Amino acid sequence: MKPDLAGKHALVCGASRGIGRAAAEALAGLGADVTVLARNRDALDALARTLPKNHGAQRHGWLAADVADTGALRSAVEAMVAAHPVQILINNTGGPNPGPAIDASGDQFVDTFRRHLLASHALVQATIGGMRSAGYGRIVNVISTSVKEPIRNLGVSNTIRGAVANWAKTLATELAPEAITVNNVLPGFTRTQRLEQIIEERVASTGKSRNQIESSMLASVPAARFAEAAEVAAAIAFLASPAASYITGINLPVDGGRTQSL
């Protein structure tokens, strides 16, 4: 079954590269109009020009915004949806800096809470009108397997991801009667710039080779390989589609079996 998203408009955040970019490509490939959002204007402009178009009415665009400025973000998205309402929202941005929770400052927690939870909340509030009018809404949050099993040395991330997961579950219950679903995708190790950064940091901090670091990471992955961004994007696209109409309030790991909890 190939879902058809013709006539639906998706706003995909963190889409200039990595998982967000792959999600934009997957949703456009299913026929959705796609607006890509991130900070890098040149990358967004180039991507919007090359996203797939399956039918004559399909149109793509981009919006440059920093999720750290939630007021400006909300205003920019409200202006955009006034002309082109959104029915599919993919909440995604760069991951928080690593480090143990015990060393994190209060400001680090507050800043991460703003960029992850408050930005996502502003985006939901800015787009929900289009979902309600269409009688069709899909909110997919890209977070982390740490909501099931906290990950070592990601203290701030573990904390804020948990808050985002509980916010999403709460919204899922509130919005289900309106045919608006809210779900979380939890990527495992996925080949993106973020993963490269993590590997390089571990090489630098341990003095081990890149091969040794990758092997030790893969030892925890039953599938014995890293994911491609397109594999995470396929799960996002499914949850955004009509095929997932009765799925809401879930955490979906896309991690090659790495998470051991059910």
Q: Which residues bind ligand NAP (CB under 6 A)?
A: 14-20, 38-40, 43, 66-68, 92-95, 115, 142, 144, 187, 189-190, 192-195
CB of 250 to ligand NAP, least distance (A): 17
Enclosing H/E stretch for 126: helix 119-134
Which residue(s) pair with 10 in the sheet? 34, 88
Question: What is the Cα–Cα distance from 174 to 166, expressed in whole angstroms?
Answer: 12
CB of 12 to ligand NAP, least distance (A): 9
- Report in angstroms the alpha-carbon separations of 103 from 114, 116, 144, 158, 190: 19, 20, 21, 14, 27
Is the CB of 74 or the CB of 136 nearer to ligand NAP?
74
Nearer to ligand NAP, 144 or 181 (CB): 144
Angstrom distance (rounded) from CA 78 to CA 56:
26
Q: Based on CB atoms, which residue is closest to ligand NAP, 23 or 136?
A: 23
> Is the distance from CB of 26 to CB of 236 less than 8 angstroms?
yes
Q: How far is the CB of 226 from ligand NAP (least distance, A)?
A: 7
Question: CB 36 → ligand NAP: shortest distance, Å?
Answer: 9
Which residues have C-beta within 8 Å of that of residue 125, sequence separation ≥ 6? 74
Smallest gap, in angstroms, from Cβ of residue 22 to ligand NAP? Answer: 8
**What is the Cα–Cα distance from 25 to 30, expressed in whole angstroms?**
9
- Choice between 136 and 182, CB closer to ligand NAP: 182
Question: Judging by beta carbons within 10 Å of its beta carbon (0-12, 13-18, 19+), is residue 162 exposed, middle or buried?
Answer: middle
Minimum gap (Å) between residue 89 Cβ and ligand NAP: 14
CA end-to-end span of the chain: 27
Measured from the CB atom, the residue of 136 and 195 that comes closer to ligand NAP is 195
Smallest distance, Å, CB 119 to ligand NAP?
Answer: 8
Of 19 and 88, CB closest to ligand NAP:
19
Q: Is 129 exposed, middle or buried (0-12, 13-18, 19+ CB in 10 A)?
A: middle
Which residue number, 18 or 31, has a Cβ lying nearer to ligand NAP?
18
